Amino acid sequence: MLLQFTMIAKILQNFNSSSSGAVFGGVTALFVLGPIAPRVTRVIQVQLLDLKFDRTTFGSFSNLAANAAFGVLKSLHIKYQRLGSNVDKEIREEFISNITLAPPLSLDQQDLINKCLLLGSGTDFTFNKLKSTSRRIKHFQMNNQSAQKEKTAIIGKAVAEIDVSAAEVLSWLWNWTSNEKMTVYREDDNSVSRSVVEYVSTNETITETTKRFPPPFKNRQFVTRAVWSGSDDFWLVFILLRIFR
């Protein structure tokens, strides 16, 4: 009877561990590779890793295992890393060449654009000019009171001349996590994070940035929905800001 039990136990043990005595873990993963430019790729990895640890020891390994799971992405990044300004330029060029291929706006996107257009063009709005330190940038401000006069929002406006084409400006604005912008973000002590939350479509993304506030205030995360639209010589970017937490 004991011999029989030992044999069953051994068979069960072999089922859960390899010949070297290692315990079988499990991995389910997806790597999605999407071209951004001819020599630039966005890689998204989603992975479920089962290391077969019990609940008491799992906590201490959880972050370690999560970090280790990104080995492939980290090594790819290091192996192929090129000069940031060149990569940014390639992404901008690719974006500009694909502008005409963008799908038409959805009703929801069009609605957002109409709302934003109303902000600056309504007859009820009068902007007051502010002092500007730059000859080429003009600043304006106005107070917008809600119909119930409960809330007052301050709306700012800036008008500037940029010495590049409208498409080039749009492509620069659109690349939220360009190497140039990420370098500025890393050097800014008041920035906590900056990332693209979701690529909704060719002309819409959800982005986020978190700013550090002085104590006793908590950090502020701004989740942004950005939509662009336009024609051959007139490009528009509409950004709706929402404080998330």
Partner 1 sequence: MNKNFVNIVLNNLFSLELNELANIDRCKIALGRGNKTKIWKRLPGSLNEPVEMYQSGYKGEGTKVFVKGVAIIDEEVEDNLGNIMHFNSNQKMNGHIQMNGNTERTWCYGDYSHTFHYSLEVNSPAPFKNRKFSGYQTFMKGFDNKPGSYVVAIYDDSKDTTKL
Residues of this chain that interact with partner 1 (CB under 8 A) are 17-18, 20-36, 38-55, 57-58, 62-63, 65-67, 69-77, 79-82, 87, 177, 186, 192-193, 195-196
Nearest-approach distance from CB 165 to partner 1, in angstroms: 24
| Chain centre distance of CA 105 | 21
- How many Å is the Cα radius of gyration of the chain? 26
Select 68 or 159, whichever has its Cβ closest to partner 1.
Answer: 68
Q: What is the 3-state secondary structure (H, E, C) of 54-123?
A: CHHHHHHHHHHHHHHCCHHHHHHHHHHCCCHHHHHHHHHHHHHHHHHHCCCCCHHHHHHHHHHHHHHHCC
Select 141 or 193, whichever has its Cβ closest to partner 1.
Answer: 193
Nearest-approach distance from CB 205 to partner 1, in angstroms: 13
Select 26 or 234, whichever has its Cβ closest to partner 1.
Answer: 26
Select 132 or 179, whichever has its Cβ closest to partner 1.
Answer: 179
Nearest-approach distance from CB 74 to partner 1, in angstroms: 6
Tell me the C-alpha to C-alpha distance, in Å, between residue 148 and each of 7, 49, 143, 144, 145.
80, 53, 14, 12, 8
Nearest-approach distance from CB 68 to partner 1, in angstroms: 8
